């Protein structure tokens, strides 16, 4: 199948396919006599795999590892589990950071309710002071 058809069936744009090729996530296709890329049918599955893995937060480097592991046997499940556990730990760290940011901003917003004569903008003051140690 040609590039446009693969992009359409996989739900991505043509530039994404070319980027995946450059990154080694998608095998470079054969060329037709006219110079058009000709992808095998399983290329749709590969692109969908990459997109699903991205939706789960895996980096493209991790996805390259997952693609290699997907071609292996049952022992590779342990390596995938380690990779997934690492991703879960990173997501938990990011959620904690977001909660801290939310809490800090909520506190700053609450101080905006003080009488105008007794305040300056606490958000701007906080940003000018920099991080607290």
The CATH number covering residue 50 comes to: 1.10.1660.10
Residues 55 and 87 in one domain: no
- Residue 25, class by beta-carbon neighbours within 10 Å (0-12 exposed, 13-18 middle, 19+ buried)? buried
Mean pLDDT score across all residues of the chain: 89
Question: Is 112 within 8 Å of 122 (Cβ atoms)?
Answer: yes
Number of other residues whose CB lies within 10 A of the CB of residue 26: 21
State how many domains the chain has.
2
Backbone angles phi, psi at 38, to 5 degrees: -125, 110
Confidence band for 90, pLDDT divided at 50, 70 and 90: very high
Residues 90 and 67 in one domain: no
Residues 33 and 9 in one domain: yes
Percent of the chain residues past pLDDT 90, beyond the cut: 68
pTM of the model: 0.73
- Domain hosting 14: range is 1-71
Looking at the predicted structure, is the pLDDT value of residue 98 above 70?
yes
Residues 3 and 65 in one domain: yes
Residues 97 and 114 in one domain: yes
User: What's the pLDDT score for residue 118?
Assistant: 64
Written as one string, the DSSP assignment of 49-116 is HHHHHHHTT--HHHHHHHHHHHTS-TTHHHHHHHHHHHHHHHHHHHHHHHHHHHHHHHHHHHHTTS-G
Which run of H or of E encompasses 18? helix 14-23
User: What's the pLDDT score for residue 122?
Assistant: 64
Looking at the predicted structure, is the pLDDT value of residue 14 above 80?
yes
CA gap 108, 100 in Å, rounded:
12
User: What's the pLDDT score for residue 125?
Assistant: 73
User: What's the pLDDT score for residue 65?
Assistant: 92
């Amino acid at each position: 199948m040609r590039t446009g058809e693969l992009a359409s069936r996989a739900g991505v744009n043509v530039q994404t396919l070319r980027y995946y090729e450059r990154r080694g996530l998608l095998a470079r296709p054969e060329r037709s006599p006219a110079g058009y890329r000709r992808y095998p049918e399983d290329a749709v599955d590969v692109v969908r795999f990459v997109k699903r893995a991205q939706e789960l937060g895996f980096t493209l480097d991790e996805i390259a590892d997952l693609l290699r592991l997907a071609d292996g046997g049952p022992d590779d499940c342990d390596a995938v589990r380690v990779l997934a556990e690492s991703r879960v730990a990173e997501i938990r760290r990011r959620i904690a950071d977001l909660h801290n940011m939310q809490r800090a901003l909520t506190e700053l917003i609450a101080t905006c309710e003080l009488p105008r004569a007794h305040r300056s903008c606490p958000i701007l003051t906080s940003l000018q002071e920099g991080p607290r140690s």
